Amino acid sequence: MARAGVVMEVGSDGVAVITMSNPPVNALALSIIAGLKEKYMEAMKRNDVKAIVLTGDGGKFSGGLDINVFAKVHMTGDVSILPDDSINLLASTIEGPNSAITLYYNISFKFYNQLNFRVLLSSDANKPSVAAIQGLALGGGLELAMCCHARISTPDAQLGLPELTLGVIPGFGGTQRLPRLVGLSKAVEIMLLSKSIRAKEGMEYGLVDATTSPENLLIVSRRWALGIADRSKPWISSLKRTDKLTSLSEARKILHVSGKHAKKIAPNMPQNQVCLDAIEEGIVFGGYAGLLKESRLFKEIILTTTARSLVHAFFAERATSKVPNVSDVGLKSSHIRKVAVIGGGLMGSGIATALILNGLLVILKEIDSTLLQQGIKTITANLEGLMKKGSLTLDKKNEALTLLKGVLDYSEFKEVDMAVIEKVPLKQSIFNEIENICPRHCILATNTSTIDLNIVGERTKSQDRIVGAHFFSPAYVMPLLEIVRTEKTSPQVILDLMTVGKIIKKVPVVVGNCTGFAVNRTFFPYNQAAHMLLHLGVDLYRIDRVISNFGMPMGPFQLQDVSGFGVALAVKPIFASSFEGRTFETDLLELMVQSGRNGKANGKGYYLYQSGSKPKPDPSIQTVIDESRKRALITSGVKPVSVSDQEIVEMIFFPVVNEACRVMDEGVVVRASDIDVASILGMGFPKYRGGLVFWADTIGSSYIYSKLKKFEDAYGRFFTPSKYLEERAANGLPLSSANSTPSQALQARL
Ligand SMILES: C[C@H](O)CC(=O)SCCNC(=O)CCNC(=O)[C@H](O)C(C)(C)COP(=O)(O)OP(=O)(O)OC[C@H]1O[C@@H](n2cnc3c(N)ncnc32)[C@H](O)[C@@H]1OP(=O)(O)O
């Protein structure tokens, strides 16, 4: 069944199998929900149906409610578009009267009238349902499964309620049924962390009743459903259960502690507390009251800026795989099996780690055995670090290491499908050396953050297969892969590198060739603006605090400490010559290094670092700052500028937005939302703000333009608004309007 829809087949055993189909993940579009209602009503009425099995087509149960519906709500502001089926379909038609009747016993009087109404409605649900789960059951998909009377699954199916990552809460009864099935603590953990678990783990917690192979899934589910119908198996309504719930006081304690923790680690995520409130309502007043509250809160939370931003980020991330003339011209990805990594330094070993972790064979090439051993040691240490964090088992680590081979010459390069050159000098000569050894189809990739790819490849005959693979450090952790193409890079090579990116679980964003490419170029004013503020007399620790409070993982000065000053010093002249007149230059970094400060690497930067404790401000830094201010001709006697926290955010981020405008204007990115994804995954821009350009559009182009003008008047050309920004401000247009606007993109999807 490939077309979207819901079908029902009634077998001679009296089991109606209802199958949802909406490729690729059987998302619950409004039409699917309507189809489910129709088939359920029919099954309930038919005399030849004794029990129901609910399943999904194409090896997947369901990826949850169709998120396009959220986007439509955001576009129109109309929450009535949302399906209101938590009670009518899930509680009444599928789960049945049992759950509603319970209310007579544990609900407060305030719901008495609604209760009678629901009991009346639920009279149709007189047959048991079993969910037959394969592949995944997420969000509304898992919620549908939880309102069935049992869940049979293949062992590796992925189960979870990731709604909070979209800025909403589970809205099909998840806040009520999950605690009743797995207990409150586990349910809170699964929901707040948006953690998906495998079905075999779900069985331990009581979420799944039995696991079986894909071949036997329908057989076992049919038998189970018939067993419930003839009462040889229990007929359990999840909403009715109380056996896994703790005492009220214990429950309140768990919810309170979880709320406090969530507020501390994610202060800008209102959905976390809202989710806990919905759970609490159900614990205090009963599951049905909880459903009502959940439904009401869902309709409120979906309209928040956080939900809008996170839904935008969801689609923006998926849009990166659609690259005109690459992904839409019928090309097929090549089979990439073996990759050569040339250079085993920090980046090379990080890239090799990412590759072997995901099953690719790696040939690590170094110039001598000492460096080679160091590279292998770093890769091993990377894997051990992951083991310590609990994200890798010993078996997986050993398995990964069997895929790694260290070499000192190019003899193995005859068979590689891709060669990645670490950020090393002499790139040109290395490309010349390997282009004749590697097979003709081999991708020649270089991990560089700034160097012009045209120059790297200019002396080779292989310019069509030269591409930039800009990884972010640590390469085996950071999720972004910036794929840099030149005008000569072939679409096949771009597609193949995108595929490798997906294999190693990165989000590949394809960008054009320019100094700094999309990410480093957009963000070069970030550090420079922080330096300008510092040289205008603003306290550096205050700047860091304000920017952290804005939602960045750390402030710009701490970030410089963590990255080390070497790269920043190396790229400084490159940016200065490429973007003449719009950089802010001081001697600060040079002075830092001269005073023995190399950043976190030697324990001394803008902060002092000691293992096991948080970075501490270093009062002795003031002499370095004073000297730098003096050299920048902002003498120490001058009164420091007075800026509000909001102005600090604006003076740091508006120049970044301004550069993003130039990046869009020059077509360095395919679409504005690619900058959103790159800023979130590459720079740690807060996802709940939707990404850099999305955030800027919530502020408005004319406001940003007017502020930059003001800053330009006061502090010079560093702040001069770009033409692109000026035009959009003049016409009252959003910055993202150059390419596909969110509404156009949505229209195309609906
Ligand atoms: C009332 C309820 O409580 C509310 C809800 O249910 S909210 C929805 C909850 N569900 C989710 O958050 C799941 C979101 N989806 C995902 O995490 C991942 O897509 C997945 C794990 C299902 C699959 O991942 P993966 O295999 O890498 O494929 P991925 O590229 O992400 O998705 C494939 C396609 O399915 C689409 N898709 C996935 N889940 C979707 C959903 N719930 N709604 C609409 N489209 C969805 C993606 O947009 C993408 O479309 P495209 O090919 O046109 O770009």
pTM for this prediction = 0.92
Ligand 1 center to 712 CA (angstroms)? 44
Q: What is the pLDDT, as a whole number, of residue 581?
A: 86
| Least confident interval from 100-104, 614-618, 674-678 | 100-104
Q: What is the mean pLDDT of residues 620-629?
A: 94
| Residue 210 CA: distances (Å) to CA of 54, 144, 747 | 15, 17, 41
Q: Which of 9, 38, 95, 143 is catalytic?
A: 143
Band of residue 116 on the pLDDT scale cut at 50, 70, 90: very low
Identify whether 433 is a catalytic site residue.
no
Q: Is a pLDDT exceeding 50 seen at residue 122?
A: no
What does R_g of the chain's alpha carbons equal in angstroms? 29
Q: What is the pLDDT, as a whole number, of residue 2?
A: 59
Ligand 1 center to 480 CA (angstroms)? 19
Atom of ligand 1 nearest to the CA of 143: 3
Q: Say how many C-beta atoms besides its own lie within 10 A of residue 281's C-beta.
A: 21
Q: Is a pLDDT exceeding 90 seen at residue 737?
A: no
Task: Please write the tens of the pLDDT for every residue from 249-275.
Answer: 999 999 999 999 999 988 889 999 999
Residue 67 in contact with ligand 1 by CB distance below 6 A: yes
Task: Please write the tens of the pLDDT for every residue from 479-488.
Answer: 999 999 999 9
Q: What is the pLDDT, as a whole number, of residue 237?
A: 94
Residue 83 in contact with ligand 1 by CB distance below 6 A: no
CA dihedral 631, 632, 633, 635 (to 10 degrees): -80
Residue 24 in contact with ligand 1 by CB distance below 6 A: yes
Distance CA 191, CA 179 (A): 10
Identify whether 666 is a catalytic site residue.
no
Ligand 1 center to 376 CA (angstroms)? 38
Distance CA 443, CA 370 (A): 28
Best residue among 20, 21, 25 to mutate for probing ligand 1's pocket (most ligand atoms within 8 Å of CB) is: 25
Q: What is the pLDDT, as a whole number, of residue 124?
A: 59
| Least confident interval from 199-203, 223-227, 573-577, 624-628 | 573-577
- For ligand 1, atom 13, name the residue with the nearest CA: 63
Residue 56 in contact with ligand 1 by CB distance below 6 A: no
Whether the link from the prior residue into 474 is cis, omega within 30° of 0, is yes
Task: Beginning with the edge strand found earlier in the chain, give each strand of the sheet holding 136-138 in spatial order.
Answer: 136-138, 158-160, 197-198
Q: What is the pLDDT, as a whole number, of residue 744?
A: 46
Kindly state the helix (H) or strand (E) to which residue 467 belongs, with its residue range.
strand 466-471
Q: What is the pLDDT, as a whole number, of residue 571?
A: 86
ipTM for the complex shown: 0.99
Q: What is the pLDDT, as a whole number, of residue 211?
A: 98
Q: What is the mean pLDDT of residues 672-693?
A: 97
Distance CA 136, CA 153 (A): 9
Band of residue 632 on the pLDDT scale cut at 50, 70, 90: confident
Close Cβ partners of 629 (under 8 Å, ≥ 6 residues apart): 535, 537, 635, 636
Q: Say how many C-beta atoms besides its own lie within 10 A of residue 123's C-beta.
A: 12
Atom of ligand 1 nearest to the CA of 321: 54
Close Cβ partners of 72 (under 8 Å, ≥ 6 residues apart): 81, 746, 750
- Residue 111: what residue type? F
User: Helix (H, G, I), strand (E, B), or coil: what is residue 625?
Assistant: helix
Task: Please write the tens of the pLDDT for every residue from 15-52.
Answer: 999 999 999 999 999 999 999 999 999 999 999 999 99
**642 or 109: which carries more pLDDT confidence?**
642
Q: State how beta strands 361-365 and 338-342 pair.
A: parallel
- For ligand 1, atom 39, name the residue with the nearest CA: 63
Residue 217 in contact with ligand 1 by CB distance below 6 A: no
Percent of the chain that is helix, strand, coil (3-state, to 5): 55, 10, 35
- For ligand 1, atom 30, name the residue with the nearest CA: 318
- For ligand 1, atom 1, name the residue with the nearest CA: 171
Residue 172 in contact with ligand 1 by CB distance below 6 A: yes
Q: What is the pLDDT, as a whole number, of residue 121?
A: 41
Ligand 1 center to 463 CA (angstroms)? 37
Q: Which of 9, 95, 163, 201 is catalytic?
A: 163
Cβ atoms of 449 and 571 within 8 Å: the answer is yes
Q: State how beta strands 616-617 and 404-407 pair.
A: unpaired
